[in-house]
Amino acid sequence: MASALPQRKVSLPPEEKAQSSSKVPSQVSAVASAASQAEHPAPRGLRIDVHGAVVGFGDLAVLRRLELSIPPGQFLAVVGRSGCGKSTLLRLLAGLEQAAEGSVALGGAAASGLRPDVRVMFQDARLLPWKTVLDNVRIGVPGGDRAKALAALELVGLADRAKEWPSVLSGGQRQRVSLARALAAEPSLLLLDEPLGALDALTRIEMQSLIERLWQERRFTAVLVTHDVGEAVALADRVVLVENGTIAQDVDVALARPREKDGGFTHYENTILNRVLARLPPDASQTGFSI
C-alpha cells in the first residue's frame, strides 16, 4: 500500500526542517507556507463567511448563531464531541442543509444550494459499485472526460486500478478513489466529513499525508470534520471546537509541515483535548489539590 503512494513532492529544505523540530514554530510555519506559496500560484481557494447561522431539525437547534470566517486556502479542522453539530456545519457549507437564520457566503457571494466548485468527501467512500473505478472518478469531471479522470487517479496513485470494480478495493483505496473524484474538477473548497474515520491506523497516516500534499499543491480551502484531535493538529492550519452549536475554541496551529509528533504537536493536541473533555491541565489540578 505504502509503495503505491506517489512520492511526496513538497518538502522543506534541510535547514528549515532542522528548525521545525525546535520549539519556535510560528516563524517557521510562516517561512514554510511562504516557500510553498512561492512554488505555486496564489491561493485559489474560496473564502467562507458564516454569519449567525441557525440550523435546526424540528424543535432541536443544532447550530446556534454560529460565526465562522475561513480565509482562502486555509486548512481548517472542526472538532467536537459527536452530536455537537460539526457535521451539520459541514453540510451547511456544502449546501446540503439550509440555514434557517443567518447567512453563508462563499467567495463573497451568498451561497445558495450546491455548487460545482465545492466537493465533499464523506466518511464512507460512496463509490457507485456498478461503475468501474475510472467511471466513478468521471462523475467528478464535468463532461466526463476520461483523460482528466485518469489524471486524478494518478494523483492518488491508483491509475493502475482504473478498470476494476470498487468492491475489490480496500477501504483505504476506496477513500483514495473518492478523493480523486472530489479533486478531479479542481474544486476551490474541499469538505472532508471524517473521511478517515473508518480506516486502520497505518492507512490513516498515509491518507493524511496524501491529503496534506494535495492541499499544498493545489491551495484549495479545506474544511476537515473529525473527532480525532491528533488528526486535526496534524493537518490543519487552524482548529475550531464546536460545542452546543457554536464555536467554543479557535486555535491557530503554528507548526511547520510536514508535522511530526514532537513537543509542540503534543502541546496543541493537549490544549484542544483538555478543552473538549473539559478537564484542567495537569499542573492546574495539582495546584488545586495543594491547597
Partner 1 sequence: MSQTTSYKWLTRTCSILLEWAIPVLTVALWQWLGSMEWISSRILPTPAAVVQAGWSLVENGQLFTYIGDSTQRAFIGFAIGGGIGFALAILNGLLPLSEKLTDSSIQMIRTIPHLSLIPLIIAWFGIGEQGKVFLVALGVAFPIYLNTLHGIRSIDHGLIEMGRTYGLQGLALFRSIIFPGALPSILVGLRFSLGIMWITLIVSETISSDSGIGYMAMNAREFFQMDVVVLSIIIYALLGKLSDWMAKQMERSWLQWHPHFRKGK
Residue ranges in 75-114 that form contacts with partner 1 under rule CB under 8 A:
94-96, 114
Q: How far apart are CA 278 and CA 291, in angstroms?
A: 21
Residue 284 beta carbon to partner 1: minimum distance, rounded to whole angstroms: 43
CB of 181 to partner 1, least distance (A): 8
Which CB, 71 or 95, lies closer to partner 1? 95
Listed residue (127, 148, 123) closest to 138, CA to CA? 148
Q: Which is nearer to partner 1, 62 or 127 (CB)?
A: 127
Subset of residues 164 to 203 that bind partner 1, contact rule: CB under 8 A: 165-167, 181
Q: Which residue has the cell 481548517?
A: 76
Three-state SS at 51: strand
106-111 long-range contacts (CB < 8 A, ≥24 apart) are: 106/46, 106/47, 106/48, 106/189, 107/46, 107/47, 107/188, 108/47, 108/49
By C-alpha distance, which of 251, 255, 273 is closest to 265?
255
Chosen residue from 18, 100, 128, 280 binding partner 1 by CB under 8 A: 128
Of 71, 105, 122, 171, the one binding partner 1 by CB under 8 A: 122
Residue 71, judged by CB atoms within 10 A of its CB (0-12, 13-18, 19+), counts as middle
Of 124 and 228, CB closest to partner 1: 124
- The region of 47-55, 117-125, 236-244, 271-279 touching partner 1 under the rule CB under 8 A is 117-125
Q: Which is nearer to partner 1, 120 or 199 (CB)?
A: 120
**Minimum distance, C-beta of residue 112 to partner 1, in the bound complex (Å):** 14
DSSP 186-253: --SEEEEESTTTTS-HHHHHHHHHHHHHHHHHH--EEEEE-S-HHHHHHH-SEEEEEETTEEEEEEE-
* Cα–Cα distance measured from residue 114 to residue 101, given in angstroms and rounded to the nearest whole number: 18
Separation of alpha carbons 74 and 26, rounded Å:
16
Query: Number of residues in contact with partner 1, rule: CB under 8 A?
Result: 22
CA distance 82 to 197: 13
Radius of gyration, alpha carbons of the chain: 20
Residue span binding partner 1 (CB under 8 A) among the ranges 72-80, 122-130, 246-254, 282-290:
122-130
Task: Give 28 or 155: the residue with its C-beta nearer to partner 1.
Answer: 155
Contact 69, 49 (CB under 8 A): yes
Return the number of the residue (117 or 228) whose C-beta is nearest partner 1. Answer: 117
Which residue in the set 45, 73, 80, 140 belongs to the binding site for partner 1 (CB under 8 A)? Answer: 140
Quick note: the x/- pattern for partner 1 over 141-170, rule CB under 8 A, is -x----------------------xxx---
Binding to partner 1 in span 18-57, by CB under 8 A: none
Instruction: Report if residue 129 touches partner 1, rule: CB under 8 A.
Output: yes
Nearest one of 90, 86, 102, 94 to 50, comparing CA atoms? 102
Q: Which stretch binds partner 1 (CB under 8 A): 128-136, 225-233, 255-263, 269-277?
A: 128-136
Residues of the shown chain interacting with partner 1 in the complex, contacts defined by CB under 8 A: 94-96, 114, 116, 118-120, 122, 124, 126, 128-131, 139-140, 142, 165-167, 181
